[in-house]
Each structure stands twice: as C-alpha cells, then as structure tokens.
Amino acid sequence: MRLTSRATRCFLIGATCFGLLVAPPAFAAGDSVLTGTVIDASTQKPIANVVVTVTSPALQGEQIVVTDAAGNYRVPQLPPGEYTIRLDGAEYKSFARGGITLRTGSTLRANLQLMPDELREEIVLLARPPVVDIGSTTTGLIVDSNLSHRLAVAPPGGRASAVRSFESLGALVPGAQPTPIGFSINGSSAPENRFQIDGVSVGNAADGINDTPLSLEFVREVNIATGGYMPEYGRTTGGVFDVVTKSGGNEFHGSIFGSYTPGAFEGQRKPVRAEGTVVAVDQKLRAIRDFGFEIGGPIKKDRLWFYAGLNVALQDLDIVRSLNRLRYETNPDGSLKLDAAGNPISLRDEYGFQLTSPIEGGTRRYVAAKETLQYIGKLTWLINPSHSLTLSVFGSPTWSGGDGRISLNGVTGTTTTINTNLLEGEYAAFGRQEEQMLNTVSLKLSSSFLEKRLLLDATVGYHYAYSNRLPVDGVGIGSGQGLDTVPGISWTRGSPHTIADFENLPAGSGCEPKGATSVIYCPVRAYLTGGPGNVNETITNRFQGRAVVTYLASALGQHVIKAGIDVEVSNSLFARANTGNVWFSETYDGSAWQVWRIGNLTNPDDVYVPKLQSPTTHSTIVGGFVQDSFTFLDRVTVNAGLRYDAQMMSSSEGVGMVLPNQWSPRVGAIYDPTGQGRSKIFASYARYYENVPLGLAEGLFVQRPFTVSNVSKSVCDPSDPTKVEACLDPKNRLTIGAPYSPNRQWGFYYGDRAPVDPEIEAQSMDEISGGGEYQVFDDARVGVNYTHRSIHRVIENMSRDEGTSFLVGNPGYGAASDFPEARRDYDAVTLFFQKSFSGGWLALASYTASYLRGNYPGLAEGSYPSPHTLSDFDLLSLLPNRTGPLPGDRRHSVKVYGAKEFALPKNIRINVGMSYTGTSGAPLDVLGAHPYYGRGAAFILPRGSGGNLPWVHSVDSNLAVGYKITKDSTLSVSVDVFNLFNFQAETSRDQSFTYANVRPIEGGTLSDLPDKGESACATGAGCRYKLVNFEDGSPFDPANRNPNYGSPTSYQSPRTIRMGVRLTF
C-alpha cells in the first residue's frame, strides 16, 4: 500500500493523541442476559442478598450472583438455551423456576417472588416466563434451528439450498424478501447485509454476499436483526444475520441426518418462450441430497466441551443439449422467400421468436454437478467461573464440474445458471472445474470481574475464501500441464460458420456442409474449440479482532455501559490467465486471427505476458463505539450510543480511497407498561454506515490490461499445435494501430482506474423505527412496528463527459453536483404474532405493508452483485426517469407459519407444519436501448410505470413422524413439500419495450407510447404518441416494438419434495 507523505502525516498526527478506540462489538455466543428483581411475596418489597443460581444444559457449570440493595440481579454472558433460576434467601423458602428460554443476544427480565419461611397463607406466585426482550429496540426475529424440523424451510433450488444453509431462515422474517443473491431486508439490497458466525464476519469481502452457507444442522440459533440495533452492530445498511453454532454439553448428544430431493418428484414447469437457436439447452433437476452427522459432549464435565459435525451435500442437474435447424419463410413451391434485399426471411412466432426444427440424433446429455463438504469443530472451555474461551473452526469447501460434468456457479448455486451460449463448443473449451474453499476460525474470550459488574468480551477471527475456475482436467493456473497449455479459440467471424465445421452431424440434419460460407440453417456465431481460454483464481483474507468492555453502574437507576473497539483488515488477490498464455478469436471478416494476451505493454509494441496477472486490493476498517443502556423505574430503558468507523481501501497499483468520519449515533427508548417484561413500547433512531466491499477496488482501482494483435490466417492456424508459434511471431503481426498510435501492432484494453472525489463521504442510511409488543399468553406475543429508512449518501462511479472519464464520488455532492442525489426511501408497517413451540404447537404470522422508492437500488444490479458500480449513475444521458418504485418494492407481504405436534401411543410423535407466503408483485419498468449501453439501459417511462407482476403465493408443508427409541434418542422421517399446489406465477417479464435507441419521455405515462399495431407517424407534429428515436428525434416506428414485450421470462419454482431421515441421540 503506498500512501504518500500527506496521508502518513495524518496518521502521525493521530498517533499523538491518546487512543480510546471505539469499535463495533462483535456479537458472540455468550451474550444474553438474565436480569430482574426479587421481591418478598408478602410485603412486595425488594430483597437484598438473595443468592441467584442460574443453570442450563447450554451453560458450563453454574453462574451465581447476589441481589443488590434494590433486589436486582443480573447474569450476563449467557449462551442461548433453556434456563433454570434458583433463589436462596435467608429466611425464605427456596424457589426454582425452570423453562426460561433465553434467545441469543437477548436480555430477559424475570421478576421473581420469594415466600417468607414463616408465612402460612398460601400466596399464588405470579411468575410466568417472560418472552419480551425489554432491553432493545431491535426488530427482526430470533429463530431456533429446530424450527427446520417442524416447518418446511430452505426450498431446494434456492441459494445454497443443497446444504440447507442458515440463511434460508431469512424467509420467516417480516420485512425480508428473497432475491437470487440473498435476502433484501427492509428495502436494502442483499449485499448490504452482514453475516456473523460465532462473532466472525463471513460475508464475501469483495461483494458482501454470504460466503459461508453453514448448514442448519450445525446452528443453534440465528438472530436476524432487521433494524433498530445498537452501535454494537455496525458497518451494515441492511440487516444482520448473527449465527450461534451448537456447542457440546455435559452429556453426549448429536444426530445423524440425511435428506433427498429427487428431480422425478418435481412439479411440471411452465415453459418460458424464448428465441430458437441452433444449440439449445434444457435443464432439469436430477437430485439434491445431503447426509452427515453432528455430535457434542464433554471432554471434562463442566469444564471442557467439544462439538463437531460433518455434512456432505450433492446437487445434480440433468442437462440436455439439442441441435436445431433454423426455419425460414417459404413460397408455396418450397423455395425460400426472399425480402427486398434478396435475403431469406426468418420464420418467427407471434412474439418475434425464431422458429426451429429439431435435428434427430443431435442430442448430447450432460450432468451439472456440485459437491459440498461442510465441517465444524468447536471447543468450549470454562477456565474458571469468571473466564471462558471458545474456539470454533468451520468451513464449506465445494467442488463442481470437471470429468465430463458441467460446473454450477459456486456462489449462487442456483439451478438456472446454464444458458445456451455456454454449451456452444467442445467440452474442453466451454467446461470448467470450479472449486471454493471457505474456512473460518474464531476464538472468543468472555471474562467477568468485580462480581460480574465488569465484563470483557474479545474475539479474534480469520476468514479465508478461495475460489477458482480451472480447465476441466483440474490443472492449476500457470502449471504448464494438460489443458493449461492449450489455447482457447473462438470462431467469431461475421459470416457465421455452420455447426458442421466443428461437429459430426447425423444424416438428414439439413445443415450446410463443412466449409460452407453462406450459412442460414445452422449458424454458430461464437463456437469454442481448443482449451478453456480464461481461467482464474481468487484468494480473500479477512482478519478481524474486536473487544467489548461492559460496566454496570447504579445512578438514578441502572446503567449498562459498553465500549468496544474493532479492527478488520482484508485483502483480495484475483489472478487470471489464458490457457497456453494466449486466446484466439476470428476477425470479423474471417481473414485473420485476433491474438489476445493477458499482459500489458512495457514498451511501444512490446507486450509482457506474466504467467498470471494478479493485482491485489486491500481494505482496513477501524471502529469503535460507546453506549449506555439506562433503566429506571423498572419500566423505562433509554439506549444511547455513538459509533465511529473509518475505512481505508487501496490497490497494489497505488491508488486508493479513505473514508473517515463515519459517526453513527443511535438512540432508543423502551417503556414496559407491565413492569414485568411482558410488554414494551419502543422508538429508535439510528444512522448506519456501509462497509465498502473490495469489489469497488477490484473494479475501479486496478487496471486489468490485455492486449490484442492480428495475424493473417495464411500463416497462423491456432488449432494446429505445431502452427501456434507462427501466430505469436512478431514478424507476422499485422499493422492495426492508427497512424497516431505509438503501438501499431498491438491494441490494448483495460478498465480505467477511476479517481476519487476529494470531497467524498461514506455511504450511509438513516432509520427511524417504533412499535410495541405484548405478551398475550404463555410464550406468545403480538406486536406492531413501523420502520422508515432513507439513504443519506451513496458512493458510485459517474462520468460527466459521456464516458470519457469516470470518477468515484457521491451523486449530488462535490464534483458530482450535476448528478441527482441518490435516493432510496422505505416505509413499512408490520403486524405480527409469534408463539414459540410449547404445549405442542407454534405459530408465526406477519403482515407487512411497505413502499420502497427512489433511484438507487443498492449494491446489486438485478441478480448480480455490483458494489458501487451500477450503471444507473454512469452517464448524465442515462439519468432521466430513474426515480420511482424500486425493483425490491413489495407492497404487501403475508407470512404465516404454524406447526402442531401430536403425541400418539407407543412413543410416536407426528408433527404437521404448514406455511403460506403471499407477496405482491414487483414493479415493472418500460425500457429501451441506449446507443452506448445497449438494450434495456434507457428508461422510456419513469421507473415502475409498467405496472406490477402478479402476486406470488406459496404453500409449503412439513410432515414428520418420530419414534422415541429411548429417553434421549429419536428416529424421525420427514417429508417437506415446497409449493404444494405447484403455483406457477410469473416472476419476471420482458421489460424492453423496444430494442431500438429511443429518447426517454420524462415523466411520461403508458398512454404516451404507441399501441400494438398502431400506424407510424410521419412527423412529430400531431403525433398521438410521444416516443421518438434517439438520434434525430423522429417519431418511433411502432413496427420496432419488441413483440415479446410484457411476456413472462421466468416462473415460480415448481413443486419439489424433500424427504429426510434423522436419528437424534
């Protein structure tokens, strides 16, 4: 990292000051609190010096505190679990209260009463277990992973669904909407979320989506916070997924499990209309299965516990690659119909799609396969009652492709990543072997001093993420072996090849024969032969360390004061190369080869090609916080805190960005009218700052140059290994550079580095929330809350000169003042009812009405992460009509879950779970083409003017039959059915009104567009419709309307059935 003396001076100035660093606290396993007041049942007065003993199977040993003068007790740093509180007071009857469920990261208030020894009257003790977390204003949901045994969660085909990732529990949370790359929480995009497992952040450092889809089998609880959280949680403008893994206990417990989702049981899919092509691809689920075990127990009772687990998950798709012949209009006598220019006319359906006839015998079958092996190992050590240490190691290596198989996209892992163009070639050319290694280590220390009035929680963590795309024989990049030495070739001449040039076709195919130059029936435009060409490797490291100090004080009430510091250093290396160090593509006229080399020019017309091109990017984040949680009158809690963050990002090429001054205030107030932890009314305000993913540095702070030269086909034949040398001989390079270019034989391409506006500020968001909850009966609560979120400043790359030069800044501020400010406003009201499992049933129901609008969707562009490099703010000419309902807007969202357990004779239990989710449809845009940015880049009408998609409903069910073999072990068999009624609602539509370049109609409506079949206006004067062509403003010709506009392009996933077996002991 090369910061100049100016920046170094800043650091030195800072160094002279004392360092009380405040940082966001990591959230770790033992962070829940039991607190309350003990009073005399007869006099209703508080009792001091009562010994409070807290025990739980989740807790090593027991925790003992003593009530103070006001009768208050507080037991912190507890892991989630079922607790028993025992009270022993002099002259009082001992009292024990069990069945208290403590959730991760919660503060539970249990006010208890003791009966005096000598009392003879019977007093009924009112001590129902409380369920309302009266210590926080956080909205969201805390989900026990056992919920996955009672409800159908983690639908197959979703993100990382083969491993049944914890992330799928996000579906239950009000305010969360599924997207291909994760859940959008309260209007924020999926990459803005923060993921923590055992206190270590496991988001992908480059783009922010979840890196470690840890199986639900290894997880104890997930705390999904959707808003209102304290400064302890920082660096996120979305939601927080805080995961607590299981731990061992004083007895050996565990389970062996397996599940199987056969493709044969998949419901009938509604086919999507699409353009007919010569190479067509169809995919179908073959099977998803996983099996594994997990076990925990004591190494030394009450002192040292272990937990370990292993899970293998396999995902297979059947891929059918078929060949087709394109069809053309014919005259009655069978000859081809020709247009005015003498060209044949494609035969198209009413939606404008090319029609084809299949070629018999031209089918190839492949399997797309992916294997994941997840592991976890954990040690929990109680050093003494005041100090405990937890070490956990977990990871999720994945392999895909190779050996004749097709690879699946590693991160998204969805079943829809295969497209037609991918299979137009030889297997060695289009196939890849992909690997991902994700490993995390976390070490946490929890200490207490001064009789638990001073606490220290410190966590150190390391998250390693590696991924690659290698040739199908698995040889390493730059290894010089196997396919790594074979260059890739792309046959891209303008006049397409016939597929017979590359493949042996069955007789009667009707395709032009090998060597044909005028090809209409079986054209292939970018056929791939030779080796894979582009291969790459990415390594990302995240080192994290944090410490939080908590101090309890009494002054006009109780104060829980916390201060913490947090440091994170991450870096990423992205290496790429071409196999054989060169890649070939045919020139447009077919007379020469373009010779591509990944390398840069070191002198005029002199290219240096390294074995690997691998720039690195770095990010350092430092932060801290101070907060006070002040409770008085037993009913009112005021939370106030301030957080500070600073981020520095740079690249190995010596360019970077500094984002200091991220001051983030949080204020909240909670009022408990019952005074017994059974209700609350709360309000909070917070400002959140966003952690810029390394992807911004990878996109904008490094060049990735590659160079191209042209060599005539008369001397160069890349498909013949003996002739490749001639293709690289400098004597054979043609002159392609312009007369003013110092490089006459080499063209070069690279992403330009974008400089940073000196006045840039970090991206941030403001949130106001409020609401209330009430415990209606045992374990059940009902509530309402309102959330408002507004983006404050956004970091984006922009150009003020039509793409000549880009800069990184805040739209609407500083150098980018002539861009509109980024806006994203979200308002939502949620009503919910939640009953945790007790008395044989559970229920969770919520309804959320929300409205998301603005001009900034977030860190994702459609289904791909795009950190701060959206095209929305690129050019001034792209800006019109960008404000309106955003793609994540869902006006209504209903989520209802319920499960009931029936106990039958002979130790048999049956669980029936049902869920219903209904969500209103996304808004649709009306798009046209832009001359530079292509199709779909121009908003003809304001965002969201195209109406809405229909509602999407899904009914899922779970049926589990369990047989209790012994007191501790159960064998159960389950069937989860997702989308029980096989609803096939449209989930996306073609939004391109036309593929022609047109000018946006600012503030226009649908009536400003020509109707289907309307005749063209000759001139603009008196024209009914307002749509005009981009170049000259002439009226748009309605014949250029996209015939497929408004047609569905995808449907809801069909019904799938997952069968599972589990032995718990």
Partner 1 sequence: MNRHDYFKSIALGACALLFTAAFGTSCEQPPILCEVASGAYAVKYFPKDAGSDCLMLPGERVGMSVYNPPKGDDREIDALRATVAIQASSMGVLADTAKATASATDPDPNHKQYSFGNYTARPDANDFCAASDLSVAEQHIPETAYTDADGNPAIYPETRLAYEWRDVRVHMAFATPGNAATGEVTITRESEDPVTGDRETCTTTYVASALFPAVGCEAVDAMGQATGMPDDARCCAKADPDQGRPFGSGIHPDFKVKCDPALLLCVLDWKPGESFPPFGNNSFCGNDG
Close Cβ partners of 12 (under 8 Å, ≥ 6 residues apart): none
Based on the shown chain and the rule CB under 8 A, indicate whether residue 20 belongs to the binding site for partner 1.
yes
Q: How far is the CB of 204 from partner 1 (least distance, A)?
A: 17
DSSP class of residue 990 equals -
Least distance in angstroms from the C-beta of 538 to partner 1: 11
CA distance 616 to 602: 20
Tell me the HSE value of 160 on the side-chain side, using a 13 A CA sphere.
28
Q: How many residues bind partner 1 (CB under 8 A)?
A: 95
Amino acid 397 reads: P
Q: Does 212 bind partner 1 (CB under 8 A)?
A: no
Contacts of 394 (CB under 8 A, 6+ apart): 197, 198, 212, 214, 218, 245, 374, 375, 376, 377, 378, 439, 440
Contact pattern for partner 1 over residues 527 through 556, marking x by CB under 8 A: ------------x-x---------------
Q: Binding to partner 1 by residue 8, rule CB under 8 A? A: yes
Mention every residue, 6+ apart, whose C-beta is less than 8 A from residue 332: none
Binding to partner 1 (CB under 8 A) within 330-369 occurs at: none
Binders in 816-835 for partner 1, by CB under 8 A: 818
Which member of 273, 744, 953, 1026 binds partner 1 (CB under 8 A)? 744
Q: Pairing between strand 32-40 and 927-930?
A: unpaired
State the minimum distance, in angstroms, from the CB of residue 752 to partner 1. 8
Taking the C-alpha atoms of residue 353 and residue 274, their distance in angstroms, rounded to an integer, is 6
Region of 31-39, 76-84, 739-747, 828-836 interacting with partner 1 (CB under 8 A)? 739-747
Q: Could you say whether residue 610 binds partner 1 (CB under 8 A)?
A: yes
Within 921-940, the residues that bind partner 1 by CB under 8 A are 931
Using rule CB under 8 A, residue 804 touches partner 1: yes
Cα–Cα distance measured from residue 509 to residue 521, given in angstroms and rounded to the nearest whole number: 10
Q: Which residues contact 794 (CB under 8 A, 6 or more apart)?
A: 763, 810, 811, 822, 856
Using CB under 8 A as the binding rule, whether residue 420 contacts partner 1 is answered as no
Query: Is residue 51 within the footprint of partner 1 (CB under 8 A)?
Result: no
Q: Which one, 234 or 1060, has the nearer CB to partner 1? A: 234
667 three-class SS: strand
- Residue range at the interface with partner 1 (CB under 8 A); choices 427-435, 620-628, 889-897, 941-949: 620-628
Contact flag: residue 800 with partner 1 (CB under 8 A): yes
Residues 847-886 within binding reach of partner 1 (CB under 8 A): 876-877
Instruction: Rule CB under 8 A: say whether 660 interacts with partner 1.
Output: yes
Tokens of 298: 């004591």
Per CB under 8 A, the segment of 386-394, 584-592, 737-745, 1014-1022 that binds partner 1 is 737-745
Binding residue for partner 1 (CB under 8 A) from 84, 346, 620, 883? 620
Nearest CA-CA partner of 762 in 645, 873, 618: 645
CA distance 413 to 432: 15
Interface segment toward partner 1; rule CB under 8 A; list 377-385, 691-699, 735-743, 915-923: 735-743
Closer to partner 1 at the Cβ: 2 or 1012? 2
Query: Does 622 contact partner 1 by CB under 8 A?
Result: yes
Task: Closer to partner 1 by CB, 532 or 747: give it.
Answer: 747
DSSP 726: H
- Site membership for partner 1, residue 657 (CB under 8 A): yes
Q: Measured from the CB of residue 547, what is the shortest distance to partner 1 in angstroms?
A: 12
Within 10 angstroms of residue 1011's Cβ, the number of other Cβ atoms is: 12
Q: Is 815 in the site for partner 1 (CB under 8 A)?
A: yes
Instruction: Return the number of the residue (6 or 45) whose C-beta is nearest partner 1.
Output: 6
Query: Does 665 sit near partner 1 (CB under 8 A)?
Result: no
Restricting to residues 625-644, which ones interact with partner 1 according to CB under 8 A? 644
3-class DSSP assignment, residue 505: coil
C-beta of residue 556 within 8 angstroms of C-beta of residue 548: no
282: enclosing H helix or E strand: strand 279-300
C-alpha torsion sign, points 54, 60, 64, 65: negative
* Residues 735, 736, 737: CA angle, nearest 5 degrees: 105
List the one residue out of 395, 536, 423, 526 whose CA is nearest residue 476.
536
Contact 619, 571 (CB under 8 A): yes
Q: What is the DSSP letter of 614?
A: -
**What is the Cα–Cα distance from 785 to 139, expressed in whole angstroms?**
8
Query: Taking the complex as a whole, how short is the minimal distance between the CB of residue 664 and partner 1, in angstroms?
Result: 12
805 or 1005, CB closer to partner 1?
Answer: 805
Pick out residues in 995-1054 that bind partner 1 (CB under 8 A): 999, 1030-1033
910 binds partner 1 (CB under 8 A): no
Q: Is 14 in the site for partner 1 (CB under 8 A)?
A: yes
6 binds partner 1 (CB under 8 A): yes
Query: Which of 258, 344, 675, 705 contacts partner 1 by CB under 8 A?
Result: 705
**252, 449, 663, 902: residue in contact with partner 1 (rule CB under 8 A):** 663
- Name the minimum Å distance from CB 198 to partner 1: 22
- Is 740 a binding residue for partner 1 by CB under 8 A? The answer is yes
Q: Supply the minimum distance, in Å, between the C-beta of residue 208 and partner 1.
A: 20
Per-residue x/- mask for partner 1, residues 672 to 691, rule CB under 8 A?
Answer: --------------------
Nearest in space to 419 (alpha carbons), one of 1053, 1049, 1056, 1055: 1049
Using CB under 8 A, pick the residue from 658, 843, 961, 996 that binds partner 1: 658
Q: Is residue 1 a contact residue for partner 1 (CB under 8 A)?
A: yes
Shorter beta-carbon distance to partner 1: residue 315 or 745: 745
Binding span for partner 1 by CB under 8 A among 14-22, 40-48, 76-84, 903-911: 14-22
Whole-angstrom Cα distance, residue 536 to residue 558?
56
703 binds partner 1 (CB under 8 A): yes
Question: Under rule CB under 8 A, which residues in 219-248 are in contact with partner 1?
Answer: none
Instruction: Report if residue 655 touches partner 1, rule: CB under 8 A.
Output: yes
| 72 membership: H or E segment, kind and range | strand 72-78
Q: How many distinct helices (H) and strands (E) make up the chain? A: 4, 59
Question: Under the criterion CB under 8 A, does residue 601 sit at the interface with partner 1?
Answer: yes
- Helix (H), strand (E), coil (C) string for 430-452: HCCEEEEEEEEEEEEEEEEECCC
* Radius of gyration, CA atoms only, the chain: 32
